[in-house]
Amino acid sequence: MASTRQTLDGLSGHLQESMGVRQTDFRPVLAPAPGKKDIGRRPLRNVGRLAVSQIVPDPDQPRAEFSEEALERLALSIREKGQLSPIRVRWSETLEKWIIICGERRWRATQKAGLAEIDCHFTEGDLGPSEILEQQLIENCLREDLQPIEEAEAFASLMKVNGWTGKQVADALRVTPSRVSRALALLKLPEEIQDKVAAGAISSRSAYEISKLPNPETQSALAERVAQGQLSAPQAAKAVRQRQGKPKPATRITNQTFFGDNGWKVVVTGPKKGSYFDIEQVLNQALEEVRIRISSGCQLF
C-alpha cells in the first residue's frame, strides 16, 4: 500500500499545474545521434542505402578476377535502369564498415557508374567463416561467376573448414558431385598448368582430361599444346587416351561382364567389337575416376 508521501509526490505535478505553474524549458528532446552502423538504414532494418565508401570487399571472397568489359556493361545498365537487386553486407566492428557477402561485382559497377550510394540487404548476427563462404559460393556458382581454379579452391576450403566430403559440398551448394570432383582434380595439376587455366589459356574440360595423366612432365607438355591452340578439348581428351593406350579399330559391338567375389559386377559395352586391351584401357580410366571421387569423399546415391 502506497504511503502518503508517495501519493503526494505523484500528485505534485498536477497540483502545481492547477496553480498556474508551467515548465519553462520547451526545447525538444532530441533522439541520440545514430552510430556508424545505423547510418543509411531505414525503419525496416534489413534494407537500406549506403554510401559506397562505407562498404569494403571481403578479403576472403573466393572470386578474385572481374572482367572489366563485363563491369562496364553492368555499370551502363545500372546507370540507365538502376540497381535491380541489393547487395548483401555484414557489419564489421573492427573496420567500422560494411563487408560485402554477395554482390561485389554490383558494388564495383556502381562505382564505375559514378553513383554515390547502393541498395543493401543487411545481414544481422555473427556469421562463421564457413557460412559466409557457403553463401558466397552459392551466389557465384548459380551465376557461374567463378573461374575454374577459384571454384576448386573454394570447394577445397569448404571441405577443410567443415570437415566435409565432396558429396557434402555438392549437396550444400546444390551442384552435382561430378562438378566438385572434376574441380578438385584441377588442384592436383602442376602450378604452371593451374595458372594457364586461371588465365583462360586452357579450358577446365581440357585441364581435367590432362589431370588423368600420371606424369607431371607429360601433363605440362600436353597443356602447352592446348594453350598454343594446337589441340581442342576433344583432341586433348583423345591425346590422353592415346597416351594411356591406343585403342584398336573394331567393327562389332562388344559386351563383357566381370563378376567380383563380393557380388558386384562390372559391365563393359562398346559400339564396336574390341579387344581385352580396349577393355583394360576403359577400366583403367573408370578406376581413375573412381579414385578421384573417393579422394573427394563422394558417396554413391
Give the active site residues.
104
Closest CA to 207 of 49, 272, 59, 225: 225
Cell of 247: 585403342
Gap between the Cα atoms of 28 and 277, Å rounded: 92
Gap between the Cα atoms of 198 and 204, Å rounded: 9
Tell me if 104 sits within 8 A of 63, measured CB to CB: yes
Query: Which residue is it, cell 547510418?
Result: 39
Q: Which region holds residue 299: left if phi is over 0, alpha if psi is between -120 and 50, else beta?
A: beta
Q: C-alpha dihedral over 239, 241, 243, 249, to 10 degrees?
A: -100
Cell of 76: 551502363
Closest CA to 147 of 81, 198, 78: 198
